Structure 1
Amino acid sequence: MQSLRQLVLSEKNRLHLAIALGAAASLLMIWQCWLLATLCDLALHQQQIPTDLLLHILVLWLLRPMLLAAKDLLGLSASQNLRTSIRQQLLGIISRAGPLRQRIASDGDLSTRLLEQVDALDPYISRYYPQLYLVVLCPLFISVAVASQSVLAALLLLATAPLIPLFMILLGKKAAKASQQQVQALGLLGGRFLEFLRGAQLIRQLQAEPLVLNRLNNACEDYRTRTMSVLSKAFLSGAVLELFASLAIALVALYLGLGLLGELPWAKAQIPVSYQPALFILLMAPEFYAPLRQLGTDYHAKAQAEAAFASLAPIWALPVCAGGDTPAPTEPVCIEFRQVSLRGSEHRAALVTAIQAQILPAQRIAVTGPSGAGKTSLLESLLGFQQPDQGQIKIGDHDLTDLNLAQWRQQLVYLSQQSQWLKGSLRSNLLLAKASATEAELKLVLQQAFCADFVFALPQGLDTQLAESGIGLSGGQLQRLALARALLKQSWCWLLDEPASMLPPAQQQLYFQQLEQLSRGKTLLLATHQLQRLDWLDQVWLIVQGQIVAKGTVAEIQAHPLYQVSYQQESQ
């Protein structure tokens, strides 16, 4: 994974041009200060002021702001291009990651990161990165110009300059820590807000609006308090930097003023620096510290950007499988796991370890075991979202990672424990599987999945509106509708993860009886805790702690001691 600085280098052409313009503006400022000092010296001695001198000052007065504006525009352009690119990269990773994204955060939290945290990189890209170079170049130019008039004044500037970065770092560490905590708080707030929006209809039905609003108000108040804490640290840091810069400028002004008065202890009745050079140096002294003060201000933007980048880093680190160009098979083929291991997240052990198994064409297999044993992970491995940490998954003669994954997923039916439903009508959600399905096809699959009775009993039938996540129907109804939608797809490989877990026992029996008929001639991999009513399966794999510990018929696995232990635990 790239670092934040490496990402910024992808826009180095624009940013380096911005740095060059900033350096050129600094050189023009030195020239302008010299001309202004000359103008004041002529006026002091009541000499005639040349017209070309005024013209030069006017040109520099116009040209320097134009260079600085161009510098800022280039920085903003580079930032916009880079943030667009980063957002596209992250969206691509999340879309390819599928269920893997849930390892990082909820969808609401991820949305907040893609919007708020990517935008939080802007000050670092557009201001802080160019300022890192200008904070060296500009004071260097000014030091050389000052040294040409007074070496001691140049030494005073150089001696006091390190104090500003020193205190910037000391105070900036606390601001950086506070910024990181603020990023986490914003992500949690965004995730909570999205969940409340998704459940708005249910919240109204339960008349829980006051409770939800109270929780949102408390979360917002906590976020406001955190924000004010971050701002107070930033303001304190800025005030300290301004104080040190002002004291340093005052020190230079004191030296020049005493020198003009001939009151320097080591040079009594002498003027080491005359009026014009002294005024020239004094005009440039604030400009000497300006880049340092600006860097101090932008240092907080750096802390915020680093905290934001840290929240985006886990997305880049997802072990997403990119796939290849090999066409996916459209007919049942052999599926083989060859010592497949999938790593978990940083807070979770390996999902599955050294899986060695084979699924023959049109073979129907159940995967059983205790909760957290790796059943869902084994099914999801066939979706091709996660790159195996070790081993291979062979689909026919090809490695899964070599297949065109979009085509491969078109050959799959995957029913998770909680299927995805979009806000819209029942009809539009069913047509996601087959957009061209006719009314007769819809009625047929609804009957096959035992949905016709309750769907056509609804006042609007198939045109009944669903809220997001299917709110409005029971979990059992949604599971049966998920089967109906799967039947529209006409796929040869079915991956079912506890597809009837929310149905009562009587309906579960009917569900599995119908599944036995509908899955004939198809490759089926079924994750389940219990094996009752599944005698028609060809084979059962018992998985414990990410490893297949036994294979056999339904009766053989039911008699296995490890299955009996897990079955008793799940039944309690």
Structure 2
Amino acid sequence: MLGHQAPRFGAILQTFAALFWLAQAAAIAWAVQSLLENRGMAAVWPAALTVLLVGVIRSLVEAWGGRVLYRSARAHISSLRHDALISLATRSPQDTQRASSGEAASVLAEQAEALLPYLLRYLPVQQRVMILPLLIAAVTTWFSWMAALVLLFAAPLIPMFMALVGWQAKAAAEKQWVEAGAMNGFLLDRLRGLTTLRALDAVEHTAERLQNSTQSLRKRTMRVLRIAFLSSAVLELFSALGVALVAVYVGFHLLGYLNFGAWGARLSLGEGLFILLLAPTFFEPLRELSAVWHDRAAGTSAIDAMVRLTERGVSLPERRTAPPGSALLSLSELAVQHAGNQQPVFRGLSLILQSGEHLAVTGTSGCGKSTLLATIAGLLPVSAGNLSTTLKPGEIGWIGQRQHVFAGTVQANISLGRPTVDNAAVQQALTLARLHAVDQAHPRQMLGEGGVGLSGGEALRLALARIAADPSIQLILADEPTAHLDRQTAREITQALLELGRGRTLLVATHDPALAAALDRQMSLDELCLPHQNPRRTEEQLQPC
């Protein structure tokens, strides 16, 4: 479990601090025995100073351990978040099993914070439970095997009942986090589509669904708390019974009614008091375990969520680099299969694309045009065959069917934080994409999330400008760039795309015959995507324009 990999030096210090109570209890018992033996107050002062000095040292060690533990816990949570973010960043955007943005935000922000009490409180208490009771039982056995037997008899009952309650607590906590993640995802999606909800007059219906989700989350949270209180009551009951049994034995033994259990001798008042002082400490880690049992349930659920977030999805494949002098892009007997599907989208595809060529990929809907472009872009793994290119990942530009526009200025949406894209490059890109004459597309104009303020054609031109601003891009992959556009806008986009492709390589998936005719050659995927056929397309079978 990931949580147990956190540094434990702080927990060790806190456990070591708890052991100082043995010295304090021994000093108190020795002082009482000295008073009973008429040694006077002279024998009490050393014991009092011992208790005070050991108490100060214990407090300092415990504070040091808490500080070290907090730093290590924070570092561990940051490491888990970093691993999850790296995993999300290396997952393909084409992965259908990827976590929703609301779920990922809930796990990284809320559930990750639930690990802090787990690491700060539960793990140190768990370590004290494994060490302190056994050590106290061993010290008690030195004086009275009967008292130690009573402690050891009462101790296993507590973990047994705690385990029974813990199973229910973990299940309830997992359901609570799932409910919270679903509610966050629902809220985030509805906030994104708030304009559409208002247009459809569905705001009240959405608010009602959100209210129902909130009430369901409240009920699950209360169920987790009820289980936590139940575990605390069970532990307090058995720990109180254990201490009471030890006190009864010691009391009757000192009165002379129970003359066994002390290795053939009678306990003195100091020894009996020492055992009584240790008995509550024997159960103290178990009582603390009850108090932090809810932290364990929430923490383990959060760890499972982090693991699922880290391991989920299809990773971006490693690109095979072609030797210098080879074709810009080479595909040989290529087959691509989506995760979870038994049949590939297409198979047996062979293609050689030289630098500067313009190729149109055609075919009916669902034959794999978008899948082919995503595979070439490195967003999907290859199921069979070979794909090699002389390009680096930063030299490939992508124009998808749906352009994502971030909330910010037009200039920020074009530069995308690339240091090589300056103001002059942005202005030239706007001119090439024919956005320079659009009022709502000047560099300092603010855009809303999702492209609020731009039409569909203008958002597509913005995508063209992103590529035009970066001269290092050598291969442009365009997926249906003229779909859902009127004829005039489609012609303008085609002209801008051809101008952008001068000196670069174009690979365009399209249904538009005018756009396909404007490119150098065409390739159809219709035959390759049929499941009952497996023809082998070669370079000679590509139809020139």
TM range (shorter): 0.7 to 0.9
Equivalent AA in structure 2 for residue 496 of structure 1: A
Counterpart pick for 2:32 among 35, 40, 47:
40
Where 2:74 maps in the other structure, the secondary structure is: helix
Find 2:315's aligned residue among 320, 343, 356: 320
Structure-2 separation of matches of 1:411 and 1:452: 25
Show the counterpart of 1:139. Answer: 133
Q: Is 1:525 the counterpart of 2:507 in the alignment?
A: yes
One-letter code aligned to 1:311: A
Give how far 1:199 is off: 4.1
Tell me the residue number matched to 1:378.
372
* Counterpart contact for 1:165–1:296, Cα < 8 Å: no
Residue 253 (structure 1) aligns with: 247
Partner of 2:481: 499
Aligned to 1:539: 522
Q: Is the 8 A contact 2:27 2:51 kept in 1?
A: yes
What secondary structure sits across from 1:473 in the alignment?
coil
CA-to-aligned-CA distance 1:379-430 (integer Å, 9 cap, x gap): 223333556566543113xxx8xxxxxxx33322201221221112334323
1:436 and 2:423 correspond = yes
Deviation at 1:126, TM superposition (A): 3.0
Match in the other structure for 1:483 = 464
Paired residues of 1:164 and 1:293 also in contact (CA < 8 A)? no
Aligned pairs, how many? 528
The more displaced of 361-370 and 116-125 is 361-370
1:320 maps to amino acid: S
Paired AA for residue 219 in structure 2: T
Instruction: Give the whole-Å Cα distance in 1 for the aligned partners of 2:364 and 2:237.
Output: 64
Partner residue, 1:562 = none
SS in 2 for 1:127: helix
Q: Take 2:95 and 2:70, find their aligned partners in 1: how far apart are those partners?
A: 31
RMSD of aligned C-alpha atoms?
3.8
Give the Cα–Cα distance (whole angstroms) in 2 for the partners of residues 129 and 439 of structure 1: 54
Which residues of 2 match residues 48-197 of structure 1 at below 5 A? 48-49=40-41, 50=43, 51-97=45-91, 99=93, 103-197=97-191
CA displacement 1:461-486 (0-9 Å, x = unmatched): 55442111112333343223323433
SS at 2:424 equivalent: coil
Displacement after TM superposition at 1:131 (Å): 3.5
Report the Cα distance in structure 1 between the residues aligned to 2:343 and 2:29, rounded to whole angstroms.
72
Following TM superposition, by how much is the alpha carbon of 1:338 offset from its aligned partner in structure 2, in angstroms? 4.4
Q: Match for 1:28 among 20, 32, 50?
A: 20
Which amino acid in structure 2 is aligned with residue 466 of structure 1? L
- Change in Cα spacing, 1:273 to 1:327, as seen in structure 2 (3 Å) is farther
Deviation, 1:79, is 0.7
Question: What is the distance in 1 between the residues matched to 2:197 and 2:286?
Answer: 53
Deviation at 1:522, TM superposition (A): 3.1
Q: State the distance in 2 between where 1:343 and 1:226 align.
A: 40
Distance 2:257 2:191 in 1: 74
- Tell me by how many angstroms 1:227 deviates: 1.5
Q: Deviations over 1:26-53 (max 9, x none)?
A: 3311121122222233345554132211
Deviations 1:506-547 (A, max 9, x none): 644554465456535532222345657523442324153899
Mapped to 1, the partners of 2:64 and 2:209 lie a distance apart of 47
For the structure 1 residues 119 and 40, does the alpha-carbon distance in structure 2 shift closer, same or farther, using more than 3 Å as the test? same
**Kindly tell me: are residues 549 and 444 of structure 1, through their superposed partners in 2, closer, same or farther at Cα, counting changes over 3 Å?**
farther
Q: Tell me if the contact between 1:179 and 1:307 (Cα under 8 Å) persists in the aligned partners.
A: yes
How far the C-alpha of 1:333 sits from its partner, in A, is 4.2
Q: Letter of the aligned partner of 1:495 in structure 2?
A: L
| Structure 1 residues 211 and 111, CA gap change in structure 2 (3 angstroms) | same
CA distance in 2 between partners of 1:325 and 1:371 (Å): 29
C-alpha distance 55-443 of structure 1, shift in aligned 2 (>3 A)? closer
Q: TM-score, structure 2 length as denominator?
A: 0.83
Q: Distance in 1 between matches of 2:365 and 2:36?
A: 89
TM superposition score normalised by structure 1: 0.80
Deviation by residue 1:15-72 (Cα, 9 ceiling, x = unmatched): 1x33432342233111211222222333455541322111101112222232222222
Aligned to 1:412: 396
Q: Give the Cα separation in 1 of the matches to 2:238 and 2:46.
A: 38
The Cα offsets for residues 192-244 of structure 1, whole Å up to 9 and x where unpaired, read as 33334434566667776545444433333322222222222222122222222
Aligned residues with identical type, % of pairs: 31
- CA distance in 2 between partners of 1:545 and 1:283 (Å): 81
Whether contact under 8 Å (1:352, 1:378) holds in the other structure is no
Structure 2: segments with no counterpart, 5+ residues: none
CA distance in 2, matches of 1:370, 1:124: 54
- Shift in CA distance, 443/273, structure 1 to aligned 2, threshold 3 Å: closer
Gaps spanning 5+ residues in structure 1: where?
Answer: 401-407, 558-572
Secondary structure of the 1:103 match is: coil
- How many Å apart are 1:136 and its aligned residue? 1.8
Measured in 2, the distance between the counterparts of 1:63 and 1:187 equals 45
Q: In structure 1, which of residues 455, 469, 475 is the aligned counterpart of residue 450 of structure 2?
A: 469
Q: Contact 1:176 / 1:307 at 8 angstroms: preserved in 2?
A: yes
